[in-house]
Structures are given as structure tokens and as C-alpha cells.
């Protein structure tokens, strides 16, 4: 699995359509293969409090996302670290 990041300008983002359940395009199912290899990511018990500066747009996006907030930022960072570790292990073989 390879991750990809798409960067869009604020102008481009504002031009993007807003979707509702009725107007959203239908998507194909992720399928059973996806769910058989998916695994939940749980926060560790040894968390450390840190202070970081984030762009207002980043914080705003996480706060506005369903179930969003600071914990979700940690989840995204953890998934990124796990993906990088997986890639390093693959290259080391």
C-alpha cells in the first residue's frame, strides 16, 4: 500500500463541490480483502504531552471532521509512522 498526498490551493478547495448523502457520487465497495487485512490503531498508554504549532487550516480541518480533534491528529501521525516503518522493513529484506 502506498500513501499519496494531494496538495490543493485554498482557491481550488473553495471551488470543490460540497456533497450530501443524496448528491455524493457512489463508490465501489472496498471489498472483503481490504477488511481482512485492516487493523485498528489504538493509542498507546505511554502518551507524552507535547506542544506543537500547527497551521490554523490543519487544526480547523481536524476539528470540523466527524469525530475530529486532537486525538485524530495523533491517529493520523501514528498511521504515517507505521506506514514508514513498514516501507523500511520491506526495503531491508
Note whether residue 78 is domain-resident: yes
User: Residue 21 carries which DSSP code?
Assistant: T
Give the number of C-alpha atoms closer than 13 A to the C-alpha of residue 55, restricted to the C-beta side.
3
Q: Mean pLDDT score of the chain, rounded to an integer?
A: 81
Cβ distance 75 to 41 under 8 Å?
Answer: yes
**pLDDT tens digits for 46-59?**
888 889 999 999 88
Residue 67 structural domain: 54-93
Note whether residue 90 is domain-resident: yes
- Determine the average pLDDT of the residues in 55-72: 82
Q: How many residues does the chain have?
A: 93
Note whether residue 37 is domain-resident: no
**pLDDT tens digits for 3-33?**
566 677 888 888 888 888 788 778 777 777 8
Cβ distance 64 to 27 under 8 Å?
Answer: no
Q: How many domains does the chain have?
A: 1
pLDDT of residue 43: 67
Amino acid at each position: 500500500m502506498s500513501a499519496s498526498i494531494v496538495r490543493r490551493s485554498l482557491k481550488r478547495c473553495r471551488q470543490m463541490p460540497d456533497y450530501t448523502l443524496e448528491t455524493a457520487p457512489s463508490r465501489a465497495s472496498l471489498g472483503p480483502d481490504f477488511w481482512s487485512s485492516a487493523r485498528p490503531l489504538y493509542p498507546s498508554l505511554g502518551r507524552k504531552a507535547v506542544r506543537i504549532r500547527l497551521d490554523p487550516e490543519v487544526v480547523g480541518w481536524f476539528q470540523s471532521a466527524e469525530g475530529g480533534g486532537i486525538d485524530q491528529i495523533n491517529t493520523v501521525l501514528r498511521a504515517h509512522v507505521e506506514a514508514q516503518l513498514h516501507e523500511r522493513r520491506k526495503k531491508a529484506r
